[in-house]
Amino acid sequence: MFKKDIIWDVAVIGGGPAGMMAAGRAAEMGARVILVEKNDSLGKKLRITGGGRCNVTNKELDNRKILKKYKDAEQFLFSAFSQWKVKDTLDFFEKRNMPLKVEAEQRVFPKSDSAESVWKVLVEYLKEKDVTVFSNSPVINITKTRNQTGNQIEKIIIKNGKEIKAKNFILVTGGKSRPETGSTGDGFLWLRNLGHTVAESNASLVPVAIEDLWVKKLSGVTLPKIKLTIFQNDKKIKSLKRFFSLTSASAGQLY
């Protein structure tokens, strides 16, 4: 039920795995939390990630070793990894009765081989910590005020003109990677309007669209240690040896 006059301790915008974890953790620390999601359900992209299997994390427990893989972002991420380590992630899921397994290159998956297992743990976490969830509630506008430290969010306006006020806001709307799941880059525009400098995003993991029907028939299949060679206009572009997963869209997509 919508309560007009309530001022939440924390309002989280975005119901992906980051938003669900942020909301659950804030509530666990004693905050009164509301989570706002524009889709009709939480974690829409989570449920299809990793070919439907969900690569939860990497089992490299040494922060410095794993952060080296992030190159220029290493220093930026060091504080976050110091406060929530890889082991914390492993313990979080295993203590909630979701067994994990480790595959090639130390990639960690649920033993069930289903992203649905991860989704269920996070949804139950929100219920356990009494987080209020507003789904099917796209944010239409963010109202800001000016104080001594700069712009501050005062409230957000969701569809039907409903207002949500909070002492703190967490913006976790994701990037532009999968518009069909709600990842449309809304947060970048909001941050610019709030006065932040936002760098243009670049694609880092992109699909190869294939018209052949055999790809669609193999949707959900993972192919470890195969070689893929990409040609464009009869010219070899790149050759890769790695792990691939197959997903289905209007045409086949190979990740």
Give me the domains of the chain, ranges plus CATH numbers.
1-54+114-204 (3.50.50.60), 56-108 (no CATH), 208-254 (no CATH)
| Residue 235 burial class via C-beta count within 10 angstroms: exposed 0-12, middle 13-18, buried 19 and up | exposed
Q: Please, which residues have CB within 8 angstroms of residue 46's CB and are 6 or more apart in sequence? A: 16, 17, 54, 115, 118, 119, 122
Total-model pTM: 0.80
pLDDT for res 121: 98
Residue in this structure with the two tokens 């992203």, named with its chain if needed:
115
Looking at residue 214, its pLDDT comes to 78
Residue 36 and residue 137 in contact, taking contact as beta carbons nearer than 8 Å: yes
**Confidence at residue 64, expressed as pLDDT on a 0 to 100 scale:** 93
Closest CA to 25 of 66, 109, 79, 84: 84
Per the model's pLDDT, the better-predicted residue between 73 and 213 turns out to be 73
Dihedral angle computed from the Cα positions of residues 58, 61, 65 and 67, in that order, rounded to the nearest 10 degrees: 60
Measured distance CA(226)–CA(42) in Å, rounded: 34
- What distances in angstroms separate CA 206 from CA 129, 176, 219, 253, one per listed residue? 36, 11, 17, 9
Q: What is the pLDDT of residues 138-187, one digit of tens each?
A: 999 999 887 777 778 989 999 888 999 999 999 999 888 888 888 888 89
Instruction: Give me the mean pLDDT over the 79-103 stretch.
Output: 96
Give mean pLDDT, residues 36-55. 91
CA separation, residue 248 to residues 65, 83, 117, 119, 176 (Å): 35, 37, 21, 20, 18
Please compute, for residue 210, the number of CA atoms within 13 A of its CA located in the half-sphere on the CB side.
Answer: 21
Q: When comparing pLDDT for 222 and 75, which is higher?
A: 75
Write the pLDDT tens digit of every residue in 191-236.
Answer: 888 888 998 887 766 666 777 787 777 766 666 677 878 888 889 8
Residue 154's contacts (CB-CB under 8 Å, 6 or more residues apart) are 143, 144, 145, 165
